Amino acid sequence: MARILVIDDHDTLREGMTVTLTRAGHSVSAVRGGQDALSAYRKAPFDLVVTDLKMDGMDGIAVTQALRAQDASAVVMVVTAFGTIETAVRAMQEGAYDFITKPFTPDVLRAKVDKGLELAGARKRVEKLEARTAAHDADAALAHGTSLVGDSEPMQKLLTQTRRAAQSDATVLVRGESGTGKELVARMLHQLSPRKDGPFVVVHCAALAETLLESELFGHERGAFTGAVKRKLGRFELADGGTLFLDEIGEIPPSVQTKLLRVLQEKEIQRVGGEETLKVDVRVVSATHRDLAAEVKAGRFREDLYYRLHIVPLVLPPLRERPEDLAVLARHFVAKHGPRVNRRVTGLDDTALRALARHAWPGNVRELENVIEQALVFAEGEVLTAADLPAHLNGASPRMDAGLPVPHGDRPLPDILEDLERQLIARAYEKAAGVKTETARLLGIKTSALYYKLEKYGFLPKGTPPEEA
């Protein structure tokens, strides 16, 4: 059933079109003039607009221009008398998709409307595809892969639970420390589910301010707030028929928690600034490093939302609790990054594995992956050795990175990763003998990005022009 808006100041014709289209199974709203039409469209966009060309006040051309300015995807058909076809052609130049001349039969009206609805459907599909493409980080998906690696008992238990959970449509809450691979669990749930051919859409809740998060989740209408220059589809709409992954769900503010609970209960959304209720068919998987039960007790997270998200709980063990997976993970990352970073390297020797085993891995699997990728950049042999690993792992004395704090288990993950990045840049800068373009090539980044990082870590004075660096 389509939503159609009919605009005509002639009562008989307006009522006749309303009856014909209602009998065809559509939901029809009818108004007498252009201002009423614009007001109705702002409340909830219609699939199709049928407007008379000659009306008091705003004529059909002005209505078409205003609707297209309000919503570039609006589909408008004009109704005109036989003697004003030239004016109807002008309306098409302003964005109307077609016109129909009076008098017309109900069959002709239905045929023209069907044609317009096909166009509206095509525009919606294109809009959704473009939005999904913009929202989907394909490079990150490729970089992270889509499978969990590990032969340990905790990982095998998790894999079994994930395969079973994938067959249901229940909401899943994935818990685990930062860097353990919660997004990989969500992707595996999607790929093994009946929804695997649908979209997999990710929202990083902690990275968005409250106002932006609401718009990202539910979308917004044009003019809903400053900067909303056009309608935007939310992630729930983009994930329709598939899976929506809400990463770091524990970070969302109370106002968004309330709206999210309603969506999970009713399977309906409203865009920000809109009044239309939209049905969505989405399987929600969420993840957090927080203890949500404790957050509920502290009054920071809604208890009813917690139980709605916690129907199927999955827990990812930290790397320190599955040391037997360390070697297989390290080899996995060599195979994953080696072809891109250093094709010569095919594995790790015992000295490298022993050095890796001595580390506490507070950054979990993500830290291990970063370490292996860094080692691949500088390795000159066919296997990674302890000497290829960062200084805090191989026991070597740091040179340009002197004074760097050694990572410890109680240090925040961002600090650990920043240390690793600084060491990586220091080693590349030294290997390139201070040549900036060669350093950037070794790191696989743009020279402009390198200058920023050299200043950030103190290798160059702040504000050094590139030609003087």
The DSSP result for 72-110, as a single string, is TT--EEEEEEGGGHHHHHHHHHTT--EEEEES--HHHHH
Q: 32-46, 188-202, 228-242, 453-467: which has the minimum mean pLDDT?
A: 453-467
The whole-number average pLDDT for the span 47-61 is 90
Q: Angle, to 10 degrees, between the axis of helix 413-431 and the axis of helix 447-456? A: 120
Tokens of 201: 């859409």
Q: Are 412 and 402 in contact (CB under 8 A)?
A: no
The whole-number average pLDDT for the span 203-225 is 88
Q: At residue 329, does pLDDT exceed 90?
A: yes
Q: At residue 135, does pLDDT exceed 60?
A: no
Q: 């063990």: which residue's tokens?
A: 317
CB atoms within 10 A of CB 361: 22
- Tell me what pLDDT residue 5 has: 95
Look at residue 24 and give its three-state secondary structure. coil
- Tell me what pLDDT residue 190 has: 94
CB atoms within 10 A of CB 102: 13
| Domains of the chain and CATH, by start | 3-128 (3.40.50.2300), 138-317 (3.40.50.300), 320-431 (1.10.8.60)
pLDDT digits (tens, 9 = 90+) for 169-195: 999 999 999 889 999 999 999 999 999
- Measured between alpha carbons, how far is 181 from 217 in angstroms, rounded to an integer? 23
DSSP 247: E
Q: Are 48 and 120 in contact (CB under 8 A)?
A: yes
Binning pLDDT at 50, 70 and 90, where does residue 391 land? confident
Q: At residue 145, does pLDDT exceed 60?
A: no
pLDDT digits (tens, 9 = 90+) for 407-444: 444 556 666 677 777 878 887 877 777 788 888 887 87
pLDDT digits (tens, 9 = 90+) for 331-379: 999 999 999 889 999 999 999 999 999 998 988 999 999 999 999 988 9
pLDDT digits (tens, 9 = 90+) for 230-256: 888 999 999 999 999 999 999 999 999
- Measured between alpha carbons, how far is 151 from 149 in angstroms, rounded to an integer? 7
- Tell me what pLDDT residue 286 has: 97
DSSP 256-323: HHHHHHHHHHHSEE--BT----EE---EEEEEESS-HHHHHHTTSS-HHHHHHH-SEEEEPPPGGG-G
Q: 35-39, 127-131, 161-165, 381-385: which has the minimum mean pLDDT?
A: 127-131
Considering only residues 105 and 394, tell me which one the structure prediction assigns the higher pLDDT.
Answer: 105
Give the distance, in angstroms, between the CA of residue 310 and the centroid of all CA atoms in the same chain.
22
Burial of 65 (0-12, 13-18, 19+ CB in 10 A): middle
DSSP 396: P
The CA radius of gyration of the chain, in Å to the nearest whole number, is 29
- Tell me what pLDDT residue 120 has: 84
Helix (H) or strand (E) holding 373: helix 364-378
Measured at the CA of 456, the angle between CA 455 and CA 457, to 5 degrees, comes to 95
Handedness of CA 198, 199, 205, 208 (dihedral sign): negative
pLDDT digits (tens, 9 = 90+) for 273-328: 888 889 999 999 999 999 999 999 999 999 999 999 999 999 999 999 999 999 99
Q: At residue 126, does pLDDT exceed 60?
A: yes
Q: At residue 61, does pLDDT exceed 70?
A: yes
- Tell me what pLDDT residue 23 has: 94
Tokens of 380: 């000159």
- Measured between alpha carbons, how far is 34 from 42 in angstroms, rounded to an integer? 12
Instruction: Give the 3-state secondary structure percentages of the chain, helix then strand then coil, rounded to 5.
Output: 50, 15, 35
Closest among 381, 384, 182, 383 to 285, alpha carbons compared: 182
Tokens of 400: 């340009």
The whole-chain average pLDDT of the chain stands at 85
Residues contacting residue 83 through CB under 8 Å, at least 6 positions apart: none
Binning pLDDT at 50, 70 and 90, where does residue 400 land? very low
- Tell me what pLDDT residue 225 has: 85
- Tell me what pLDDT residue 269 has: 93
Distance between start and end Cα atoms, the chain:
65
Q: At residue 85, does pLDDT exceed 80?
A: no
- Measured between alpha carbons, how far is 143 from 330 in angstroms, rounded to an integer? 15
- Measured between alpha carbons, how far is 363 from 436 in angstroms, rounded to an integer? 30
Q: 49-53, 190-194, 263-267, 412-416: which has the minimum mean pLDDT?
A: 412-416
Give percent above pLDDT 70 in the chain. Answer: 88
- Measured between alpha carbons, how far is 469 from 434 in angstroms, rounded to an integer? 10
Binning pLDDT at 50, 70 and 90, where does residue 26 land? very high
Q: 17-31, 388-402, 409-423: which has the minimum mean pLDDT?
A: 388-402
